Amino acid sequence: MQVNLSELFSSDGKERTYTQDIEMEQFQAPDGVYEIVKKEPVRLTIRHTGERKLEASGEIRLSLEIPCDRCLTPVKVDFDLDVNFSADLNQTEEDRAKELDEQPYISGNYLDVDQLVRNELLLNLPMKVLCREDCKGICNRCGANLNFESCECDRSTSDPRMSVIQDIFKQFKEV
């Protein structure tokens, strides 16, 4: 959803609150695509501070379904994000790139709410998602979820690089 910001430029200090629905149904992360299972409209308060400069603050509330890093069980992860940014619409794309102040969610006089949400989610994705603290993961042989069942697979994998050291230990056990 795009918000037309040009109506704010009529006077300095003009402020408006926008409530916009999130149109995207999935979030494309660097490591996969996650379903958005719950989302609330994004609330943004944008104020014109003069000379085509804006200050904005708002809230993003949504939930993603992300697979557990150990057992791949879907986990609902809630995001309650507070957004604060300022934008100088007088700057060109080249000026923003030089200052490393890239704002791909602003194009001309329009603010792309979905792109803003994507950027905030990328910055706030957790490093590791677990279905529970003591998640046992899956068996690397048969694929069984070890949280719910046990398997009879031999888990004593011998690393071929360690075979020389294991031979030395076997010699000492025989003595």
How many Cβ atoms from other residues are within 10 Å of residue 154's Cβ?
A: 7
pLDDT at 135 over 90: yes
Alpha helices of 28-106 — where are they, by DSSP H?
93-98
In this structure, is residue 142 part of a structural domain?
A: no
pTM summary value: 0.76
Range of the domain at 17: 2-124
The kind and range of the H/E element at 67 are strand 53-67
Domain count, the chain: 1
Give the whole-angstrom CA distance, residue 73 versus residue 132.
10
Q: Give me the pLDDT at residue 174, please.
A: 58
58-74 confidence digits (pLDDT tens): 999 999 999 999 999 99
In this structure, is residue 70 part of a structural domain?
A: yes
